[in-house]
Amino acid sequence: MILFRYYMGHLEVNLLSDTHYADLMRRLEKSAASEAGFPQRLTILRKERSMTQQGLADTVGLGISQVKRYEAGTSQPTLDVIRNLAQALRVSADELLFGAGERGPDDELRLQFEAVSRFTTEEKHVVKSVLEGMILQHEARRWAER
């Protein structure tokens, strides 16, 4: 497979094996899924699992027309349906609903939160109290600035 890419005023040409091309396409789809809205993520995740709309509908207990509406963005699922869709697609509800960076700590705090996850229960309560205090202080300051 030949990959053409225009980069900083130059045309780059790369030869990719079928395996490398397939891997690149999977990574691009995964990246697109994380940056897309719910309808696009649902469609991408369903296709990654080689499921048809009918297959997903059957697994979740919906009509195919409802799955089509979710993927078109003309209808929003209930919480129960989101849970069932996430289970059928073997992802978390967060992964189905939110793109990368929309939930969870940003990269600057990720290592600290991973370290805190190894704390004892008592230490976690202390960290939680400190964070809640900081959040309240921040919100009060924002409210006062209005």
Angle (CA) 87-57-32 rounded to 5° is 65
Query: Does residue 59 sit in the same domain as residue 116?
Result: no
Query: Does residue 38 sit in the same domain as residue 57?
Result: yes
Query: Does residue 64 sit in the same domain as residue 25?
Result: yes
H/E element holding 132? helix 121-145
The pair of three-digit structure tokens given for residue 121, joined into one six-digit string: 């229960």
In 8-44 the beta strands, taken as DSSP E runs, fall at 10-15
Query: Does residue 43 sit in the same domain as residue 17?
Result: yes
Statement: the pTM of the whole predicted model exceeds 0.75: no
Query: Does residue 33 sit in the same domain as residue 73?
Result: yes
The answer to whether position 102 is within a domain reads: no
Alpha-carbon gap, residue 49 to 144, rounded angstroms: 50
How many domains does the chain fold into?
Answer: 2
Query: Does residue 13 sit in the same domain as residue 53?
Result: yes
Query: Does residue 72 sit in the same domain as residue 119?
Result: no
Residue 71 CB coordination number (10 Å) = 19
H/E element holding 92? none
The answer to whether position 76 is within a domain reads: yes
Task: Tell me which residue range forms the domain holding 81.
Answer: 2-97
What does the pLDDT look like over 89-143, one tens digit per residue? 998 888 888 876 666 666 678 788 888 889 999 998 888 888 888 888 888 888 8
What does the pLDDT look like over 28-55, one tens digit per residue? 555 444 457 889 999 999 999 999 999 9
Residue 53: name the closest of 34, 36, 40, 66 by CA.
66
At 55 the pLDDT is 96
Could you tell me what percentage of the chain is helix, strand and coil, using 3-state DSSP and rounding each to the nearest 5?
65, 10, 25
Query: Does residue 119 sit in the same domain as residue 79?
Result: no
